[in-house]
């Protein structure tokens, strides 16, 4: 049966804050004869963005103690000097506009009794500058407002076609390195579709599911990164995975609900079972950069200690208003935050690396853009400053639309040899591999290997062992092209992403930021090279 095909002016893959915001802006500002396709692998609102708790950075003139230069300095210090100064400055300077624009779209940031915006504090920020919604429901608040616009605003929604439960599985890149669209797979109908467009935007989020313990939801399987790798896009800094220090850790439960850093920002302290306040010696105490706190907790856990957040001295009425979801989640687990300590441990949280892009999302493949967590603009360097990622999603999506406005988006149905080869992989029934029975077992194995050997602390031998294990998983899995279902495609992507992280981590022999090599003697402090092309080559050919 011939594969279904369609044409749009712009394809956006992913409906987190980056994808939704780009769709809204494009629909508002451009005349797009073939419309926008917004395609997402689950329900529209399911993504990392939805679970963001702490908030979004806003460097606003009314917040007198703050300034662009202070935010830039904090970002670069947390990123251990590996950030791109111009990118940091640009994103900081545009934060005020981004916040005002979100408000215009119906995001109600929390305010005090005088109706002034409430600013909170998180690790490595030198002043209170983080805005939040519904206390600890910032992502939910923003996502909800943007989904409402995309679905129900009469003008905006009229230009947008939405595909839910649909996975982008390959990019259509021609022999001149131009992206002409994607191949998609509908999880409900099992149908493949060739979708052409002069512009394709990846907004597919991060890679958290590559690890056994993560704060990220199940959709976060690094798909965009794998699409980029398969199409030879340049990839950068994949050794830098941020482990959030404080995820709720309940015995016999592998899920890791986040306990926001802003709980520490409001005064909670980290202690072990003996009551030792082990962050007390650090100049920034509990609010030291995330990589530092995560390693301290890891060291405690490695000594068979248990680690807790002591929030008992935060006024309970304040706790309930500021952190309603955290309060309820703790109660569900029989933890009364007024008298019980909250058991916590680190979990994979954010990917600083990704598809190498400019600030407007431009990648190394023509007509292909990447924004949000899937992209690496070098805002975050070796360790992301808390609450900078939602800001990056909005500012980069805005810049992307500013770039596209200046272009003529002509219909694109150019099919050359290279594109035909990609299409054939999915249209040809002979290519289909027999359904694999042990996909979830292989996934569990992969996640455990990555957690144990490519986690908070790495060595060359742990990384080599991990590569060998992942190679075994890959050969047991077998499939490279056409899979039978969404889980198989996700496993295919997780294998690509794992190898890419391992190769990057092997390449960087010194410790810096979130990449800690226990076998390194040198701690890198200065702005040196980012890991790029070598990693890509070895990942794709491995």
Paired strand residues for 512: 515
Should residue 74 be labelled a site residue for ligand SIN when binding is judged by CB under 6 A? no
Produce one character per residue of 35-52: b if its CB has 16 or more CB atoms within 10 Å, e if not: bbbbbbbbebbbbbbbbb
Name which position in 8, 22, 32, 54 contacts ligand FAD (CB under 6 A). 54
Is residue 219 within 8 A of residue 42, CB to CB? The reply is: yes
Name which of 356, 381, 384 is nearest 371 in CA terms. Answer: 356
Question: In 110-204, at which residue ranges do the beta strands (DSSP E only) sit?
Answer: 130-131, 160-163, 166-173, 179-186, 192-196, 199-202
**Binders of ligand SIN among 249-268, rule CB under 6 A?**
258, 260-262
Residue with CB nearest ligand SIN?
A: 54
Should residue 168 be labelled a site residue for ligand FAD when binding is judged by CB under 6 A? yes
| Minimum CB–partner distance for residue 296 and ligand FAD (Å) | 21
Considering beta carbons, is residue 260 or 360 the nearer one to ligand SIN? 260
- Rounded distance, CA 57 to CA 120, Å? 9
Is residue 34 within 8 A of residue 159, CB to CB? The reply is: no
Should residue 220 be labelled a site residue for ligand SIN when binding is judged by CB under 6 A? no
Q: Answer with the entry of ligand FAD, ligand SIN, none that 373 interacts with (C-beta below 5 to 8 A by kind).
A: ligand FAD
Q: Answer with the entry of ligand SIN, ligand FAD, none that 167 interacts with (C-beta below 5 to 8 A by kind).
A: ligand FAD
Total residues found in the chain within this entry: 542
Should residue 361 be labelled a site residue for ligand SIN when binding is judged by CB under 6 A? no
Question: How would you list the strands of the sheet with 36-39, edge to edge?
Answer: 160-163, 36-39, 10-13, 199-202, 368-370
Cα-flanking dihedrals φ and ψ of residue 201, to 5°? Answer: -120, 120
Q: Answer with the entry of ligand SIN, ligand FAD, none that 450 interacts with (C-beta below 5 to 8 A by kind).
A: none
| Minimum CB–partner distance for residue 532 and ligand SIN (Å) | 25
Considering beta carbons, is residue 26 or 348 the nearer one to ligand SIN? 348
**Binders of ligand SIN among 42-61, rule CB under 6 A?**
53-54
Should residue 493 be labelled a site residue for ligand SIN when binding is judged by CB under 6 A? no
**Binders of ligand FAD among 346-375, rule CB under 6 A?**
350, 372-373
Should residue 17 be labelled a site residue for ligand FAD when binding is judged by CB under 6 A? yes
* CA distance readout (Å), 276 to 248, 270, 271, 301, 541: 19, 8, 5, 13, 49
Q: What is the dihedral of CA 351, 353, 359, 363, to 10 degrees?
A: -120
Should residue 286 be labelled a site residue for ligand SIN when binding is judged by CB under 6 A? no
Considering beta carbons, is residue 256 or 492 the nearer one to ligand SIN? 256
- Rounded distance, CA 182 to CA 351, Å? 24
Q: Answer with the entry of ligand SIN, ligand FAD, none that 261 interacts with (C-beta below 5 to 8 A by kind).
A: ligand SIN
Considering beta carbons, is residue 422 or 524 the nearer one to ligand FAD? 422
Considering beta carbons, is residue 383 or 389 the nearer one to ligand SIN? 389
| Minimum CB–partner distance for residue 326 and ligand FAD (Å) | 11
Should residue 200 be labelled a site residue for ligand FAD when binding is judged by CB under 6 A? no
- Rounded distance, CA 260 to CA 262, Å? 5
Considering beta carbons, is residue 263 or 335 the nearer one to ligand FAD? 263
- Residues sharing a CB contact under 8 Å with residue 358, sequence separation 6 or more, in sequence order: 377
- Rounded distance, CA 171 to CA 419, Å? 9
* Tokens describing residue 366: 């023509």
Applying CB under 6 A, the span of 147-155, 384-392, 432-440, 529-537 interacting with ligand SIN comes to 384-392
Per the listing, tokens 């009364």 go with 336
Considering beta carbons, is residue 48 or 367 the nearer one to ligand FAD? 48
Name which position in 11, 34, 41, 514 contacts ligand FAD (CB under 6 A). 41
At 493 the three-state DSSP class reads: helix
Name which position in 10, 11, 12, 18 contacts ligand FAD (CB under 6 A). 18
Should residue 345 be labelled a site residue for ligand SIN when binding is judged by CB under 6 A? no
Applying CB under 6 A, the span of 144-152, 382-390, 403-411, 509-517 interacting with ligand SIN comes to 382-390
* CA distance readout (Å), 502 to 102, 120, 233: 37, 36, 18
DSSP 12-31: EE--SHHHHHHHHHHHHH--
Should residue 389 be labelled a site residue for ligand FAD when binding is judged by CB under 6 A? yes
- Rounded distance, CA 528 to CA 141, Å? 38
**Binders of ligand FAD among 224-243, rule CB under 6 A?**
224
Is residue 90 within 8 A of residue 398, CB to CB? The reply is: no
* Tokens describing residue 82: 């590996």
- To the query of whether residue 458 is one of the catalytic residues in this protein, the response is no
Name which of 352, 383, 313 is nearest 525 in CA terms. Answer: 383
Name which position in 37, 145, 167, 270 contacts ligand FAD (CB under 6 A). 167
Considering beta carbons, is residue 46 or 237 the nearer one to ligand FAD? 46
**Binders of ligand FAD among 253-292, rule CB under 6 A?**
258
* Residue 401-430 contact track with ligand FAD, rule CB under 6 A, x = bound: ------------------------------
Catalytically annotated residues: 290
Q: For binding to ligand FAD (CB under 6 A), which residues are involved? A: 13-19, 39-42, 46-49, 51-56, 138-139, 167-168, 203-206, 215-216, 219-220, 223-224, 258, 350, 372-373, 387-390, 393
Q: For binding to ligand SIN (CB under 6 A), which residues are involved? A: 53-54, 258, 260-262, 386-387, 389
């Amino acid at each position: 049966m011939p594969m279904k095909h369609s044409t749009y002016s712009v394809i956006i893959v992913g409906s987190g804050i980056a994808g939704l915001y780009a769709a809204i802006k494009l629909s508002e500002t451009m005349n797009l004869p073939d419309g926008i396709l917004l395609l997402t692998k689950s329900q529209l609102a399911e993504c990392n963005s939805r679970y963001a708790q702490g908030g979004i950075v806003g460097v606003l003139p009314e917040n007198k103690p703050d300034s662009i230069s202070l935010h830039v300095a904090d970002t670069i210090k947390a990123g251990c000097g590996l950030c791109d100064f111009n990118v940091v400055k640009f994103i900081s300077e545009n934060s005020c506009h981004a916040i005002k624009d979100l408000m215009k779209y119906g995001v109600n940031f929390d305010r005090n009794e005088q109706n002034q915006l409430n600013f909170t504090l998180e690790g490595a920020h030198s002043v209170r500058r983080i805005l939040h919604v519904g206390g600890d429901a910032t992502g939910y608040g923003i996502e909800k407002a943007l989904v409402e616009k995309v679905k129900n605003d009469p003008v905006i929604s009229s230009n947008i076609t939405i595909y839910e439960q649909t996975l982008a599985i390959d990019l259509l890149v021609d022999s001149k390195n131009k992206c002409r669209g994607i191949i998609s797979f509908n999880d409900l109908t099992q149908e493949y579709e060739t979708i052409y467009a002069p512009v394709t935007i990846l907004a597919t989020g991060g890679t958290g599911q590559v690890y056994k313990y993560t704060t990220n939801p199940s959709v976060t399987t690094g798909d965009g990164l794998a699409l980029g790798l398969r199409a030879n896009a340049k990839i950068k800094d994949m050794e830098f995975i941020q482990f959030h220090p404080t995820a709720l850790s309940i015995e016999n439960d592998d899920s890791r609900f986040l306990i926001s850093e802003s709980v520490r920002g409001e005064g909670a302290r980290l202690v072990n079972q003996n009551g030792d306040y082990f962050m007390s010696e650090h100049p920034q105490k509990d609010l030291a950069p995330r990589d530092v706190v995560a390693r301290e907790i890891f060291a405690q856990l490695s000594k068979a200690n248990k680690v807790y957040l002591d929030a008992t001295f935060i006024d309970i009425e304040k706790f309930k208003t500021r952190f309603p979801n955290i309060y309820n989640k703790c109660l569900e687990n029989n933890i009364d935050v007024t008298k019980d300590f909250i058991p916590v441990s680190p979990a994979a949280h954010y990917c600083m690396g990704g598809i190498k892009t400019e600030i407007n999302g431009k990648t190394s493949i023509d007509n292909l853009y990447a924004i949000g967590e899937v992209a690496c603009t070098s805002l975050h360097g070796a360790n992301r400053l808390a609450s900078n990622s939602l800001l990056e999603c909005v500012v980069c999506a805005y810049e992307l639309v500013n770039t596209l406005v200046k272009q003529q988006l002509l219909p694109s149905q150019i099919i050359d040899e290279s594109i035909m080869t990609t299409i054939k992989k999915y249209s040809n029934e002979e290519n289909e591999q027999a359904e694999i029975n042990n996909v979830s077992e292989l996934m569990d194995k992969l996640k455990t290997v990555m957690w144990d050997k490519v986690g908070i602390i790495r060595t060359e031998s742990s990384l080599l062992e991990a590569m060998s294990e992942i190679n075994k998983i890959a050969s047991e899995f077998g499939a490279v092209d056409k899979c039978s279902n969404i889980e198989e495609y996700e496993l295919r992507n997780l294998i690509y992403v794992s190898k890419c992280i391992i190769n990057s981590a092997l390449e960087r022999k010194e410790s810096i930021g979130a990449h800690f090599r226990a076998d390194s003697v040198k701690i890198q402090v200065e702005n040196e090279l980012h890991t790029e092309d070598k990693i890509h080559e070895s990942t794709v050919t491995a």
